[in-house]
Every structure is written in C-alpha cells, then in structure tokens.
Amino acid sequence: MREWSAIVLAGGKGKRLMPLTALIPKPLVKVTNVPMVDYAIAHLIYVDIKHIILALAYKGEDLKEYIKKTWPPDRLGDVELECEIQDSQGTADAYRLLTDFIDSENVVVSMADIVTNLPMKDFMKFHSETEGLATISMKTVESHISQYGVVLLDKDRKIYLFLEKPAPMELYLSSMAQRTDLFLHTNIINTGIYCFNKKIGDILHETGLMDFGGELFPYLLENQYDLYGFVKNYYWLDCGNYQTYMWANWDLLRHYAWPITPNGKEYDGIYVMGIINSGQNITIAKPTCFGKFVKLENRVKIKELTSIGSNVTIGEDTVIEKSVIWDEVKIGAGCIINESIICNNCEVGDNVVLERAIIAPNCKISNDRQIRDQTLEVGQQL
C-alpha cells in the first residue's frame, strides 16, 4: 500500500461567481491564464503524490474532458489521475463516496477552486509525525473573531476546540479553564486542505456525516480523536466571488503567491504565452500577462495588474487597467476598461467605458456605452 494519495474536490457550482461559471465549472475559471484546477493538480504532483482523484459534480463531463486533453499520460508520467463524477451532499460525503478508490495509508484532500502556496511537503510531514487521525491546514490572518471563528490549540498544535463560525464559548472552555498549556486563537482560518489517515473512511461510513468543517471535525473532538492544526503564514485565497477572483489575479502578478506564477515566459514582470502582434506606440506596464495570439492596435495602453487571455484583439487608443480579459474577445477602439472582467467570446464596441463591470460570456456591447458597477448576463447585448 502506498503512503499517500490525494482527492481534489472539484464539484462546486460556483454560485457566487455566476455568470462566470454559467457555461464552465468553477475549477476551469482561469487565474492569470491558468485554470484553477491545474494549480491544484500541479501542487500535488510537485510533492510526489502518485495517485490523484478528482471528485466532480457540476458540469463534470466538461471538466473530465478538459483533464483528459490537458493532462495526458505522457505528461503525467507515473502519476495516476482519475476523474469520478458523483452526486455528493457535502465535502465529507464526497470523500466517503471515493473510499473504495483509495489505496494509501494517508490522504490529502485539496480544493480545485483556491489559489495557495501552502508548503504541502511540510504539511504532510507534520501529519505523519503527529500520527493523528486528521490534520487541518490553517493560516493566520489579520481579522476579528466575528468573521473567522476560533480554535484552541496546545503547544503541539493538537486541537481542543474548533468552531468555524462564532458561538458562545463559555460552555466549551469551562472544562479546560485550569489548563495552562492551551492557547486560544481568534485569527486562524481553516484553508480547506486536509490530511487524513485512511481510518477516517470507516468513521464516515459509520456516522453518515456529510461535511468536514461543520460535522466531522466537531465529531472527532467530541469523541476524543486526535485532530491537529498545521498553522503557518502562507498565501491562500478562495476565489469565491468577483472581488477575491480579481485579487487572485493581481496577487499572482505581484508574486504574492510565489512560486506560483502566471502562465507564460516572464520578461521583467510581463508574462507572455505566445506572439503579441503589436501596432505602434504601445504601452505595456508591469506586472501584466498575455495569452497566445494577442493583437494590440496603435497606442493601446495595458496598465498594471491586467491579465489578457488568448485570441484577443484590442483596438486603437484603448486603455485597460486592473482587469481580467478571457479568451476570444474583441475590444474596439477608444475604450476605457478598469477593474472589470470580460469573459469568453465577447465583443466590445468603440468608445466603451467599463468600470467595475462583469461581462458574462457571449455578450456584445455596442459603441459608446458606459457600464459601471453592473453585471451582464450570458449572451446579453447592449
């Protein structure tokens, strides 16, 4: 039996990212021209995990087809990558449905819709050394208890109290009031990556618990199983809404998640995947990134923190700043685009102003429009 395998949870609908996820599953949403699921897979391959299972649900067939094309056997080498479409009712349920596929002593459970540089090797080593049943990846944040909840740890990082959402704590803490080796933290969050001993599968089958954070971890503590917290300060961001999705693109461009970087070859802060066909007097600031087959007409200005996809044409005198442009997009002349997202297969006319706008796939915007703090639905025309 191998020591480690991994499950990547990739079945969420991405409701808060709609309409970005209306036509594609959330793990295929690109951050600096890389689908988030690719970051998750590469993270696990890097730490030498040889068996990875993707738990799929929403638009699972589309994601499965993408994996088949993008991660062929010759790229994977000796890594076995499986896709299983399931109808799970929660994170723990997704794990339970895959227990027959697991052939290792320990399992990493990761997420396909986050960006993180969690030190995975250290995380796995910590789990093995503690010999606990489960280990939660955690990071420190600058925040208040009202947002993130609390965790009570001892000096060895064993967890005695874990509340994902705030609640009155007197009842929980009263029995531990005399313990001087316990430390209450109100600025630590669960980042959604876990290490489990294979025995966790038996508990899930016996109890029918559906969710890790809300059900399984409280159950383990109540029944005195060893649960640990791996606490470090690393980069992590859940791309769950427009704002955090935009931040993830900006953060990777600024190297906040190093060694995770945008796709393409870097030229002093500018990442390029392929040929850029440029006109005259082009201005490209850094940091920015570009996909393949990008055409920039005369006097285009691409300002900092902008991600441009593949097969994108940008007309004369257009200025784009702090925005994410997906693939197959045509932008007219004289446009001003700031802090906006334009999805696949969109056409933007001349002299259009987009300020904090979300443009869904297949939209068409006519000349001289101004769209501020507005979201266009799939296929909408203005």
pLDDT digits (tens, 9 = 90+) for 271-289: 999 989 999 999 999 999 9
Quote the pLDDT of residue 129: 97
Quote the pLDDT of residue 147: 52
State yes or no: pLDDT of 323 exceeds 80: yes
State yes or no: pLDDT of 145 exceeds 50: no
Quote the pLDDT of residue 140: 82
State yes or no: pLDDT of 150 exceeds 90: no
% of the chain exceeding 90 in pLDDT: 84
Q: Which two tokens stand for residue 21?
A: 């996820």
Alpha carbon separation from 38 to 41, 47, 84, 147, 257 (Å, rounded): 5, 15, 17, 29, 15
State yes or no: pLDDT of 371 exceeds 80: yes
Alpha carbon separation from 212 to 86, 190, 195, 204, 208 (Å, rounded): 17, 11, 12, 10, 12
Go through the domains of the chain in sequence order and give each one's CATH number: 1-117+235-261 (3.90.550.10), 266-376 (2.160.10.10)
Interval 201-244: pLDDT, tens: 999 999 999 999 889 999 999 999 999 999 999 999 999 899 99
Quote the pLDDT of residue 188: 79
Quote the pLDDT of residue 171: 40
- Rounded Cα distance between 97 and 149, Å, is 29
Residue type, 258: W
Q: Convert 29-45 to b/e letters by CB count within 10 Å (16 or more is b).
A: bbbbbbbbbbbbbebbb
pLDDT tier at 155, thresholds 50, 70, 90: confident
Alpha carbon separation from 262 to 16, 115, 290 (Å, rounded): 24, 12, 9
Measured over the CA atoms of residue 115, residue 295, residue 337 and residue 328, the dihedral's sign is negative
State yes or no: pLDDT of 76 exceeds 50: yes
Quote the pLDDT of residue 177: 46
Q: Chain-wide mean pLDDT for the chain?
A: 92
State yes or no: pLDDT of 133 exceeds 80: yes
Residue corresponding to tokens 């945008």? 262
Quote the pLDDT of residue 152: 83
Tally the C-alpha atoms within 13 A of residue 242's C-alpha that lie toward its C-beta. 19
Interval 175-213: pLDDT, tens: 444 555 555 555 678 899 999 999 999 999 999 999 998
State yes or no: pLDDT of 148 exceeds 60: no
State yes or no: pLDDT of 301 exceeds 60: yes
Q: Can you tell me the mean pLDDT for 90-101? A: 95
- Rounded Cα distance between 371 and 376, Å, is 9
- Asked if 218 and 151 count as a contact pair (C-beta separation under 8 A), the reply is no
